[in-house]
Amino acid sequence: KAGVTQTPRYLIKTRGQQVTLSCSPISGHRSVSWYQQTPGQGLQFLFEYFSETQRNKGNFPGRFSGRQFSNSRSEMNVSTLELGDSALYLCASSGSDVREQFFGPGTRLTVL
Amino acid sequence: KQEVTQIPAALSVPEGENLVLNCSFTDSAIYNLQWFRQDPGKGLTSLLLIQSSQREQTSGRLNASLDKSSGRSTLYIAASQPGDSATYLCAVIPGGTSYGKLTFGQGTILTVHP
């Protein structure tokens, strides 16, 4: 079974631009979560989607948004990029009652 | 609010040693707990998941234990190898409607030297 995939793997943007990241979960998994990882803050939860509905949201500004499609693929969007948005963005999928999370390789976003 | 602490923050050992990584959490009302490994610049690899009803879980040279009432979990690595060098993260999986909302520790950076 293929693992979680994320595209693109690397992105360089400038302040004020917007960016869209994509995540394809493990086949059959309907829950997709997004995390931001920075050296200072560690891993922080952004949001979680299930069957095209956002079920949970972390403490991030409205510039961070996401969506999920009928095939469970998910995208997250960050508008009006700031320098502090530079981070590794990770998505994870889950498909069982034990809520075990499987992570993708991440997208490294650099904001200049 | 759940808080997760990992001790030590960093550990350097010679090859072949057995070692223990510690994880503590403040709210014992967890659903499950998961241990991960992260190599530099990469994603997280799941190592072990312990359900809240379990006391321990084993996979190869890895053994994880869970004491939910005291808010502690340990990851035991037997006969460490240089390839075990990575950051190890524990994450608490909440119950109820908090799907996907894991709380992570800051990690233990492990270096195993030949």
Res B41: pLDDT: 87
Place of tokens 């917007």: A18
Q: In the predicted model, is pLDDT for residue A1 greater than 80?
A: no
Angle at B102 between CA A5 and CA B80, to 5 degrees: 75
State the smallest CA–CA distance between residue A69 and chain B in angstroms: 17
Residue B42 and residue A101: Cβ atoms within 8 Å?
A: no
Which residue of B50, B87, B102 to mutate against A (max A Cβ within 10 Å)?
A: B102
Res A88: pLDDT: 97
Whose CA is closest to A89, among A2, A22, A13, A40?
A22
Q: In the predicted model, is pLDDT for residue A97 greater than 80?
A: no
> How many pairs of residues across A and B have Cβ atoms under 8 Å apart?
73
Output the tens digit of pLDDT for each of chain B's 114 residues.
899 999 999 999 999 999 999 999 999 888 899 999 999 989 999 999 999 889 999 999 999 999 999 999 999 999 999 999 999 999 999 888 888 889 999 999 999 999
Q: Which residues of B touch A76 (CB under 8 A)?
A: none
CB hemisphere CA count around A51 (13 angstroms): 1
Residue B100 and residue A33: Cβ atoms within 8 Å?
A: yes
Q: Please, are residues B6 and B110 in contact by the beta-carbon 8 Å criterion?
A: no
Cα–Cα distance for residue pair B56/A9, rounded to 1 Å:
35
